[in-house]
C-alpha cells in the first residue's frame, strides 16, 4: 500500500490534501470546531432549518427498516412526496436517500446504449457519474452555451434513440443560473428529456428555479431536488409525471436496492417546509445586501471569492478561521480555479457580512 502514502504526500505538496473537521455543536450560523466558536459562511443550510427538531416526529422511530418496496414505505413518505410535487408543480414526486443517489439513479435509468446525453461542463459530480454509468453517448457542452448546445443537438440528435439534456439550475460553486427557458425550448425542438438539478435553488430562488422563467414543467421535464440543503434535513426527491414515478419504482436501482429514508426525516422535512416562505424572504434580502456590498454578481446564495492559487486559498481560509469565520478553501478537482465559496443564509446579520468582507480584503 506504499502507493497510497505516496499519493497522499503528492496531495499535501500540491496544497490539495483534505481532512475532516468535527463539529461539537449543531449545524447553525455559529458552529464550534475544536472548542473554537466560528461564524459559519460555508453551509448549504440556507434557511437555518438544520437545527430544528420536532418531538412529534419521534413517533416514527429512528429508522425505516427496509427498502420502500419491502416494508420501508411509510405514509409520511407519500405525504411528503405529494407536498413536494405540488410545490414543484408536477404530477408526482419520489423520495431518494440522497441527491447523489437520485441523480445517478435517474440518469442511468432513463439513458443507455444507443442514447445521447448533453451535459453542461460544470454539472455536479453526481450528474457526471450518472452519465458515465448510463453507458449512453455523453456530449459535454460549454457552460451555459445554448448556441453550441443547439448546434450539437442539430448535428447529433438524429443519430440516437433517446436524448437527455441535463443541467444544474443553480451551479454549486459559482452560484450562477442555467438558461432554463432556452433549454426548455431546445428540449421541445429536439425531442429530448430535460433534467434539472434544483438542489441549490429549492427554497433559495423560490420553490423551484422554473419560477424565475415563468415555466411550468411538462411530461418531458424532470426536476431533482434535495432536502439536505435549504430544507434542513436529508434525502432527495425526483419530481415529474406519474408515469415517470411508476417507472423509477420498477427500474431505478438506487431506489430499489437501498434502505428507505427514515420516516422521522420525512416528518421533520414537512415541518420545516412550513417555515420556508418567511425565511426565504429574509435570505433573499441578505443575498441582495451581500451582492451590493461585495460587487460579486451572484444570482443565488453562493458567492465565489476567487484567489490566485491553492496555497492562497488555504492561507485566506486560515486567516478567516483565526478571526472567527469558517469559510473552507475549495480547490481542484472540485473546481478548476481555487476559491473560497461563501454561502449566505437567512440567519446572517449585516454586521457579520460586513466583517467578513473586510477580512476578505485584508482589513
User: Residue ranges per domain, the chain?
Assistant: 13-47+278-360, 55-273
Instruction: Please state, in angstroms and rounded to a whole number, the distance separating the CA atoms of residues 30 and 34.
Output: 13
8-state DSSP, 133: H
Supply 281's cell numbers: 424572504
The domains spanning 13-47+278-360 and 55-273 adopt the same CATH topology: no
Say which residue the cell 483565526 belongs to. Answer: 322
Dihedral over Cα of 80, 83, 87, 92: its sign: positive
How large a percentage of the chain has pLDDT more than 90? 98
pTM score above 0.85: yes
CA dihedral 312, 315, 321, 325 (to 10 degrees): -20
Phi-psi region of 149 (alpha: psi -120 to 50; beta: other; left: phi over 0): alpha
Q: In the predicted model, is pLDDT for residue 294 greater than 90?
A: yes
Supply 57's cell numbers: 416526529
Supply 277's cell numbers: 416562505
The 3-state secondary structure of 311-351 reads HHHHHHHHHHHHCCEECCEECCCCCCCCEEEEECCCCCCHH
Give domain 55-273's CATH number out of 3.40.640.10, 3.40.50.300, 1.20.1440.80, 3.40.50.450: 3.40.640.10
- Predicted local distance difference test score (pLDDT) of residue 362: 78
What average pLDDT does range 216-237 have in this prediction?
A: 98
Rounded to the nearest 5 degrees, what angle is found at the Cα of 108, between the Cα atoms of 234 and 186? 95
pLDDT of 170-188, one tens digit each?
A: 999 999 999 999 999 999 9
User: What angle in degrees, to the nearest 10, is found between the helix axes of 75-88 and 263-273?
Assistant: 40
Positions annotated as catalytic residues are 172, 200, 229
Q: What confidence tier does 315 reach under pLDDT thresholds 50, 70, 90?
A: very high
DSSP reduced 3-state for 56: helix
- At 291, phi and psi to the nearest 5? -65, -45
Query: Which fold, 13-47+278-360?
Result: 3.90.1150
Task: For 26-48, give one letter per residue: b (16+ CB within 10 A) or e.
Answer: eebbebeeeeeebbbbbbbbbbb
The mean pLDDT value of the chain amounts to 96
The residue among 182, 185, 260, 193 whose CA lies nearest residue 223 is 193
- Predicted local distance difference test score (pLDDT) of residue 110: 98
Do 263 and 227 touch, CB atoms closer than 8 A?
no
CB count in 10 Å sphere of residue 162:
16
Q: What confidence tier does 299 reach under pLDDT thresholds 50, 70, 90?
A: confident
The residue among 320, 308, 315 whose CA lies nearest residue 355 is 320
What average pLDDT does range 75-91 have in this prediction?
A: 98
What average pLDDT does range 313-342 have in this prediction?
A: 94
Amino acid at each position: 500500500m506504499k502507493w497510497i502514502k505516496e499519493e497522499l504526500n503528492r496531495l499535501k505538496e500540491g496544497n490539495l490534501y483534505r481532512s475532516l473537521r468535527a463539529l461539537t455543536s449543531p449545524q447553525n450560523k455559529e458552529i464550534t470546531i475544536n472548542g473554537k466558536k466560528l461564524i459559519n459562511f460555508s453551509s448549504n443550510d440556507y434557511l437555518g432549518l438544520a437545527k430544528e427538531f420536532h418531538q412529534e416526529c419521534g413517533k416514527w422511530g429512528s429508522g425505516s427498516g427496509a427498502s420502500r418496496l419491502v416494508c420501508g414505505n411509510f405514509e409520511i413518505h407519500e405525504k411528503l412526496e405529494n407536498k413536494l410535487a405540488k410545490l414543484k408543480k408536477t404530477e408526482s414526486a419520489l423520495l431518494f436517500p440522497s441527491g447523489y443517489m437520485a441523480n445517478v439513479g435517474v440518469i442511468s435509468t432513463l439513458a443507455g446504449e444507443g442514447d445521447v446525453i448533453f451535459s453542461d461542463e460544470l454539472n455536479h459530480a453526481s450528474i457526471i457519474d450518472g452519465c458515465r454509468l448510463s453507458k449512453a453517448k455523453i456530449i459535454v457542452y460549454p457552460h451555459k452555451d445554448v448556441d453550441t448546445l443547439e448546434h450539437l443537438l442539430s448535428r447529433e440528435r438524429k443519430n440516437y434513440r433517446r436524448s437527455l439534456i441535463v443541467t444544474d439550475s443553480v451551479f454549486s460553486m459559482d452560484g450562477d443560473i442555467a438558461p432554463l427557458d432556452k433549454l426548455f425550448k431546445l428540449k421541445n425542438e429536439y425531442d429530448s428529456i430535460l433534467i434539472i438539478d434544483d438542489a441549490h435553488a429549492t427554497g433559495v430562488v423560490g420553490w423551484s428555479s422554473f419560477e424565475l422563467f415563468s415555466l411550468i414543467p411538462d411530461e418531458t421535464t424532470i426536476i431533482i431536488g434535495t432536502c439536505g440543503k435549504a430544507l434542513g434535513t436529508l434525502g432527495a426527491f425526483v419530481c415529474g409525471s406519474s408515469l415517470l414515478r411508476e417507472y423509477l419504482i420498477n427500474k431505478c436501482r438506487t431506489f430499489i436496492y437501498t434502505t428507505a429514508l427514515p420516516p422521522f426525516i420525512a416528518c421533520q422535512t414537512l415541518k420545516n417546509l412550513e417555515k420556508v416562505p418567511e425565511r426565504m424572504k429574509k435570505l433573499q434580502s441578505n443575498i441582495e445586501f451581500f451582492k451590493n456590498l461585495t460587487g460579486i454578481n451572484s444570482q443565488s446564495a453562493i458567492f465565489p471569492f476567487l484567489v490566485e492559487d491553492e496555497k492562497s486559498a488555504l492561507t485566506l481560509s486560515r486567516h478567516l478561521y483565526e478571526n472567527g469565520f469558517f469559510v473552507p478553501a475549495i480547490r481542484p478537482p472540485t473546481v478548476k480555479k481555487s476559491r473560497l465559496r461563501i454561502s449566505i443564509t437567512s440567519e446572517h446579520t449585516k454586521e457579520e457580512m460586513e466583517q467578513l468582507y473586510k477580512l476578505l480584503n485584508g482589513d
